[in-house]
Structure formats: C-alpha cells, structure tokens
Chains A and B, each alone.
Chain A
Amino acid sequence: MDKFVFSNIEREMATYGYDAVVKSHCRMCHGGCGVLVYTKNKKVAKIAGDPNCPINHGTLCSKGIASAQLAYHPDRLTRPVKRIGPKGSGKWEPISWNEALDTIAERILNYKDDFGAESIVMGYGTGRENEAVIYRFANLLGTPNVITAGHFCYGPRIATSIITCGTNPIADYENHPKCIMVWGNNLVISNPDCYKGEPFSVSLDAGAKLIAVDPRLTRIAARADIWLQLRPGTDTALALGMLNVIVNEKLYDRDFVENHVYGWDPFVKRINEYSLERVEKITLVPKEKIINAARLFATTNPAAIQWGVAIEQQVNCADNNRTLMALMGITGNIDVPGGQVLFQAPKIRNVGHFGAHRMLSDVQREKRLGGDRFRLAHNFAITNPKCVWDAVLEETPYPVKMLFLISSNPLMSRGNAREVYRALKKVDFMAVSDFFITPTAELADIVLPASTWLEMDYIGDFWKRHGYILPRRKVIQVGECRSDHEMLNDLAHRVGQGEHWWDNFELALDWILEPMGIKWRDFEKMEYIRGEVEYQKYKTKGFSTPTRKFELYSTLLEQWGYDPLPQYREPPESPISTPELHKKYPYTLITGARSPGFFHSENRQIPWLRELHPDPVVEIHPETAKKEGITQGDWVVIESPRGKVKQRAKLFAGMAPEIVAAQHAWWFPEKKDPGHGWDESNINILTDNAYEACDPAMGATHVRTLLCKIYPENKNGGDL
C-alpha cells in the first residue's frame, strides 16, 4: 500500500493533465475549509480538501466539492440587471456596472438627503465573509440599520459570550475533550462557524464520552452515551436543571467559582428555583437522566459543549447561551486545553475595526430600529428584521425607503414570510447582490452579480473566533461578476466615502494585515496564520467583562434593564402557553434540521446537491402518520395559525409522536415563473415574528418551535 498517499497532488496533475492547482479557502457555508482547486483549460476541474489545513485536515463536504457547479451554473447572474417590468414580473435588462452603481449611488444620496441615512437599510444573510465590509459601508453612510441573521444566528453567541467572558468560547477538539455535550447541533452535517465535523469525529474516535441534547434522533444522538430527548424549546430549563445538580452535588470547580465568577450567590439562588421535579415537568426528560448527564459532564475533564444556532432561534436565545456558558464555566472548562478556549486572533486589524463601528455617530446609533426594545442586540449593532419591515410598511418610527440586500434571501429565511413579502414589494427601492435572481431578488430594482469564493482574494475566517486566518485565493473569473468587497469599495467612492476606502480592494487586505508587517502578496503565499495560543489567561488578566470576572450574573444586562440571571420562558406557542390553540393545532412543529448539501436557501439549483434531496421533507412519527392518514412520500399540508405549505412525508420514529419536523428555506429554482415557488414549501410562511415572541434582549425570532396541524394534500380540499 506504500504507493498510495492521500491527496497526491503530483499524480493527480499527471493523471488528469490539470494546468494548475490553487490552494484556497472554501466559503460554501458559514464554515471555511482549506481546499485544493485543480484547473484545466483555466476552468475549475476538481475540488479537494487541503490535507495541510488545520481546520479540515483534507476532508471536505458535499457543498465544497460541488462549488464548480455553482460557479458555472447556466442560471448564474453574470451581468448587472435592472428591472423593466412591474415588481415581480421577472422582466430584466442587462446594464453596465457603471449604470448599476451610479443608479444605486444616486438613490442612496437622495434618500439620505430627504429622509436621513437611517432610511437606507443594508443587509446580509449568514454573510459570505462580506459582513465587515457591509458594516463599514453602512457606518460610514450613517445608517445604524443593518439586517442580518445576527439577531438569531451566531450574533447571540458573540453578544452573550462577550458580556459573560469576553469572547466566544470555542470547543477545543485539537486537544480532545474527554466528554462532549452536543446541544441541539448536528455539526457533522452543517460544519458550522468555528467548527468542523472532522475534528469532532476524531475526538470521539479518541474516546470522548458523548452526551446529545436534541428533541430529534440524529446519528450523534444515536451514538451518544446519554441522549436527553427534551421537549422542543425547553433548553434553558434543562441546562438550569443540570446546573442545579452540579451545584448541589458540589461537582463544580471550586477554585474557579471562588476566584473567577461574579454573582455566585444570586446564581445559586436562581438555579435552586429549578428543582429537578420542576425541570422534568418542563422538559419531559426523566430527572435520573438529567442527573446522570450532569454528573458525567461535570466529572469528566476536560469537557466541551458543542453549541450552535438551534437554541438561538428561540425566545430563550440569550439565556440558552448563558446557561450553557455557565455549565462550561463552573465545571472549570473555560480556557483549558480540550475544554472551551478563548482563542486569540492574529494581531491584525479585526472585523470590529474594519467595520468602522466607531465612525457611526451617537445620534445615528440611537436611531437604530428596535434599539430601545432589543438592547442587547442594539449594543452589538444588530437589528431585528421585523423592525425594518414595520418601518417600510407603517413608516414607524420613520420611513425606510431603500433596502440593499447583499447575499440575503429573507423571503425564505426570516420569520413570517408573508410580511417580508409585503415589505419587499412595497419598499421604494431595492438593490440585491447575489449569484442568482432568487425569489427575494425578483422583487428588486437592480440585481448585481456577486462572485463566489472561487472568484476572489480574501482573508478567510477574518471574522472568526478560532484564532486562524487563511488565504482565499482567486482561481477564476466568471462573466462580469464582482466580489461584494470590490463592489462596495467602488460604490463607496460614488457616495462620497472615498477617503475611508481604497483604490482597489487588495489595498484593503494590506491595511487589515499591516499590523503584522505583511501585505496580501505575502499572506497569499502562506498556509495560514494562527494567533498566539495561551490558556487560562483569566488567571493573570481576568475576563474582559466589567467585573473582570466570568459573569454568571450579568452586570451589563442589569444595566440595560434585564434580569441579570438566566430564566426559562415557555415558548410563545406550545401546549402549555397556548392550550386553546393547541386543540386546533395539536402538533409541535420543529423546523430547520440541516440537510447535507444545502446552506439555508442555497444550492437547490446545484445538480449534485439537489439530487441528494429532490423534495422538501417533513418528518412525521409513524403513529401520527397513521392517525392522520399519511403514508411515506405523500405531499402533506402543514398548517399553523399564520398559513400553510406542503412538504413530502418521511415517516421517522426518532422523535415523540406529537412532534413534526419540517425543513426550512425551500424554493424551486427550476420553476421559471418569478416566484420560483417561494411560498409553496417555505416553512417561514408558518412562523411568527411578533415582537412579544422574540427574545426580549436579543430580538431573536422564535422560528424553531410552533404549533401546527398536518393532513394529506389531497384530503377534502386540502390542496394548497
């Protein structure tokens, strides 16, 4: 077997006659893996993982491999277009970049003069590493309104971790935790944020104990030593119950608690309000299991919690995160090898600096939509999207006249999609930058063709908290597509921000790297740069919080008028909070379990990925299906008080019979009408975005659990 070597570049080149291989950094999701891009006749011919990359160690996912099918897709937008018919008519005409950017610039300047900069809202979705450049543009323009997924995805981890311990604690798989608690997460499918499935898998192979917290059976849950199958939306209560065990059995790290936490006594008082009997009643997890899991987690060191977005898209968003951090903290797992490390970035100009947040005046900052209501979000420059839809539709507290959505498809991915549709339909002017004319882009006035990761130079993982940056190197050019970074750098000059920008975006990369004494041309030759790795920094420096302690009791939340201690809130819609509604809608709908190949609303048009999942799928317990007259593969109507959509039934016994699990963000690019089926299977037709249903501090929209009824599509007038 000696002749076989993984990722044998020389033999690949010789065997297939490739012209070149370029090392780069994938961006098909929120992750970012090192890749080898082989080209032939100057086109991408093969994509493989880079074995030298410390993030993915040569492995890859389906999305990364299929990137060339995205770049060369026949439906790809390759020139700017302007709409020539009514909104949603699907009539477009190609225009030059100059005309497109001049038109957008003129609108921006006019709205700013007539209605104030705050009437212009910038937006991105999960962000294609364009987050900092979009914030820079918005802040320099003077608008405090940037709508992103940040109110209910990753933003909460950043906001709550900064107020608790100074930065996001990252599970340290490099040093192999001996116990891993996976909380509402399926990282082996999603490879999210700072985490990849590969190092997690290796830590398990190295013998880590595994605890899974999930209402639905994943393979992780099936492989776990303990599976806590909680009632959807009750995560905070479960975490408080585990904390109760750890505190009362004195399983916590005494030195850490005595010397490094703030608010221990009130915290203990609060968790004692959550007796195991109460927690069992709320979560439906037997208390013996809670005890066993708490003991295993607290007594197996080092231990790490794998956490993510699912618990953030809930009314308990901030407190879900805070209780998990409390678990990490009091068990002594913060900033230790194999635990949860507060990694340091390389010494470059960071995203906050690049984002020019300090350039936004206090007067403009105070105008942030929803800033007075969602004050944790406000302090991290995050806007709840409903505030923007209301400002478009009702013009309160002031009118929003322009949306500029860059890599965002809110029609598919934000709560209460019908309201989103009304707002996008009504807004005076909308520009979009994306790969395709998506259902959202169909409602725009101008759509700009954005570059994929294969078509740009950039500092990959610039924004992350795992301590690495990696070069993303441009491999190809497709049509007239431009990166969002270059596009905004150009537009900035056209709206009078030129002095704060650069002649070309490579100079911006030089500026970011400057403190390290290198330029992009140096960095692009490197494998990666890692920040200094140092553990238990709090012992000498304290935590970067107002008290310099790990704040179990948040002094900042208290200052902003919130309960400084975590508490459990029942989901806004549930058998317990809305029993009358429950009679009509007898099932608890959970949404958004991840599917290999898709990234939210993306990739439904990529052949290799779509064939992994041809149709939207709703999982229904076999007993429930039988009761409702549903068989495997039937189109099923899922209905909530807000509306109904259809997905195909998959019978799945891995959850309680009263739970129904639907996929999110489905549209049908193959449908050539301008709607592309946006409201046929889109689960956000069913979700609620009312302010009262959002996390009171973070403004996270509660889209993960709601009540529904289900029936076969063809049953008595059941057709959509």
Chain B
Amino acid sequence: MKQYSLVIDHESCWGCKTCEVACKQEHRATDNVKLISLWEDGPKMVDGKLEFMFKINVCRHCDDPPCAEACPEEAIQKREDGIVVMNYELCTGCQSCIGVCPYDAIDFDEKRNIAQKCNLCHNRVDQGLFPACADNICLAHCIYFGDSEEIDQNLTKRKRTTWPHPETVSKTG
C-alpha cells in the first residue's frame, strides 16, 4: 500500500506562507493555531556564505508515531495509507502528544482545549482531492503529496519547466 505523506522541497520555498493560509481556509483552525507553519532558518554563515532558508513545519506522519503511543485517549491513529489522524472528538486536551512530538508539529488550541495537527487533509484525500496546501497553490511548486519514496526519487523530474496551457485559449487580438 502506498504510504502517503507531504514532501517539501525546502530549497525551492520562498517563504510566501500561502500554504498556511490555504490550510486555514480548509480547516478554519482557531486564530493563531497552525497545522502547518513556516520558520526562518538563518541567516547563518556556512563556508563563508550567508545561508538563509525557509522551512515548513508540519506533521511528518511518522512510521511509529510517538504521539499515538502517548495519547491516553487513543485519539491518534495511523491509517494503513500512512496518514496519522488525530480525532479531535476524543481529545481531552492533556497535551501528552505535544511533549513527545520530535518535530514540534502539534499545536494547542486553548480556545477549544484540544491539540491540533495536520491530518493530511484525510477528508480530502479520501475523496481523491489533494491536501489543501498541496493542490497546486504553492507558487514555488515546493509542496508534494503522495508516496514519499516515489516523490523523492522523482523530485528533480517533477520540477516544472513547462506549463499546461488551456485548451480553451481565446483568439488573440
């Protein structure tokens, strides 16, 4: 079975934060609660050159998710397709998951008293729709959804160098 995940090409990321807002539009998370978030790595000197990158932090859908182990309510389950889903109905707000996440990818919604994380838009994926952040919204084309091994192998090939032009092009002037 394919193991779905998001693969992010950080080298291409410009830090435009469109993914953050696309996620907000889909999930309407409480203000200041983020299921996907951007951070700045650098500037720092590396081999005499200033390096500066944007990094996207989002649930990695781990093979053995420590958050699922830690949750006393069994609110977090890894599906067969690899997606780690947190069931908010079952969350009691104990925050055990937040403490064990090695990637600091789980946020806490104080207003609703529940943990929140990226569920890889499983609601969309089950309908054959791309996750909101990966549905061709990124102007750098740096967010990929699919089987992580396949994406890694094909990342360079997947770089776009042409555009799909519409078939319904109007007459020119």
Contacts and interface: CB of A to CB of B under 8 A. Distances in A.
Given A60-B137, A62-B17, A202-B160, A222 B52 contact: yes
B124 A15 contact: yes
Given A346-B173, A530-B173, A59 B137 contact: yes
Interface in B125-164: 127-130, 135-141, 145-147, 150, 159-161, 163-164
A222 B43 contact: yes
A530 B166 CA distance: 13
Given A47-B25, A176-B161, A201 B17 contact: no
A532 B172 CA distance: 6
B16 A197 contact: yes
A608 B28 CA distance: 9
Given A612-B20, A652-B43, A52 B161 contact: no
A52 B168 contact: yes
Contacts of B7: none
Nearest to A610: B31
B163 A608 contact: no
A62 B18 contact: yes
Contact of A7 (B24, B127, B136): B136
Main SS class of interface, B: loop
Contacts of B138: 59
Contact of A62 (B12, B14, B20): B20
Contacts of B17: 62, 596-597, 612
B171 interface: yes
B1 interface: no
A531 B171 CA distance: 9
Contact of A15 (B53, B129, B140, B146): B129
Tell me whether chain A's interface is mostly helix, strand or loop, or mixed: loop
B18 A219 contact: no
B54 A219 contact: yes
A61 B128 contact: no
Interface residues of A, number: 71
B128 to A, nearest CB: 5
A653 B129 contact: no
A15 B127 contact: yes
Q: Give the size category of B's interface with A.
A: 35 or more
B146 A1 contact: yes
Contact of B31 (A174, A202, A607): A607
Contacts of A202: 141, 160-161, 163
A529 B51 contact: no
Contact of A529 (B24, B147, B172): B172
B163 A57 contact: yes
Interface of A: 1, 3-8, 11-12, 14-15, 46-49, 51-52, 54, 56-62, 65-66, 174, 176, 188-189, 191, 196-199, 201-202, 205-206, 217-223, 344-348, 516, 526-533, 596-597, 607-609, 611-612, 652-654
Interface of B: 2, 11-18, 20-22, 24-25, 31-32, 42-44, 50-54, 124, 127-130, 135-141, 145-147, 150, 159-161, 163-166, 168-173
Given A7-B135, A531-B172, 18 more contacts: A52-B168, A54-B165, A59-B18, A59-B137, A61-B16, A62-B16, A188-B139, A197-B16, A202-B163, A205-B141, A205-B161, A206-B159, A217-B52, A516-B173, A530-B173, A608-B24, A654-B50, A654-B52
15 contacts: A4-B146, A47-B25, A51-B164, A59-B137, A60-B137, A188-B15, A197-B16, A205-B159, A205-B160, A220-B14, A221-B52, A527-B170, A529-B172, A530-B173, A654-B52
